[in-house]
Structure 1
Amino acid sequence: MTVTVIISGAAALVGALLGLGSLISPAWGASVVRLQPMADRPGGWAEFRASYGGGLLLLHGAVLLAIAMREQAGMASVVAAGFAAGAAWLGMAIGRTVSMLADHARHGTRTGYNLFSVGFELVIGLALMAPWLGHIGGRAG
């Protein structure tokens, strides 16, 4: 197993554990992302279990499955799965950065939490993309 695959797998494990935590305890997931369901609109906890729970768990589970099956499915499956999951994390970092720039005056979004979160999202996203980055850098995965 190459270093890039190990890095991607470690990031996928972090993402899968975040998803599992939110699936088991949506209140925990809500506290991590600093959101809560609206009291006057039922069903909000299901959204935490679905999006932050099952969605994150299976997105990162797909990366882990591709890594586990790389001998049968080929390294391209690892590159593609890691790229897709990493792109989602980079999209989160972009959205949060735009909010810190565009929404701060009205909503106070330029916080230490958001700054930390942008860094975390960039690290996880790039780590998930490590096999792809290694591939475009001329190394074989």
Structure 2
Amino acid sequence: MDTPILLTGVAAGIGALMGGASLLVPRWGASVVRLMPDPRWPGGWAEFRALYGGGFLMAHGSVLLTLAMMAQAGRNSVVAAGFAVGALWLGMAIGRAVSMLADGKAYQTRTSYNLFSTGFEIAMGLALWAPWLRHIGG
């Protein structure tokens, strides 16, 4: 297996594990993203299980499925699935960076946690984009 495909598989595995953990233990997902359900609106834990759990598990699981089916579906299936999920991670990095710049003083978003998380999100996004980057680079 070549390096871009391996990077995509590792990142998809990490994302699927994070999703599975959030699905089974939503309190863990809430602690990772540093959010809590609003007590004024019942049902907030379902959001952690839905978005951070089921959403992340299925999105990253889709990439893993394209890897498992690459012989039948072709390499381009991995390129496309990895691109879509990588765009999600890079979009999160952009949003977090904008928040650190725009909201830093008012909401104290300039933290080492957010700096680390931005780097992690960029790394995950680029790892998932590795086959696409190789594809457009020749």
- Aligned-partner SS, 1:41: coil
Which digits, 9 at most, give the CA deviation of each residue in 1:65-103, with x for residues without a partner?
Answer: 001001100111000000000000000000000000000
In the TM superposition, 1:76-87 aligns within 5 A as 76-87=76-87
Which digits, 9 at most, give the CA deviation of each residue in 1:27-75, with x for residues without a partner?
Answer: 0100000000011210100000000000000000000000100110011
- State, as a whole percentage, how many aligned pairs show the same letter: 66
Query: Does residue 1:34 correspond to 2:43, yes or no?
Result: no
Query: Does residue 1:61 correspond to 2:61, yes or no?
Result: yes
Alignment root-mean-square deviation, CA: 0.5
Runs of 4+ in 1 over 4 A off after TM superposition: none
Q: TM-score, normalised by structure 2?
A: 0.99
In 2, distance between residues paired with 1:62 and 1:129?
A: 14
In 2, distance between residues paired with 1:104 and 1:2?
A: 41
- 1:121 counterpart letter in structure 2: E
In 1, distance between residues paired with 2:106 and 2:4?
A: 41
Flag structure 2 segments of 5+ consecutive residues without an equivalent: none
The residue that corresponds to 1:6 in the other structure is: 6
In 2, distance between residues paired with 1:84 and 1:67?
A: 14
Flag structure 1 segments of 5+ consecutive residues without an equivalent: none
In 1, distance between residues paired with 2:128 and 2:11?
A: 6
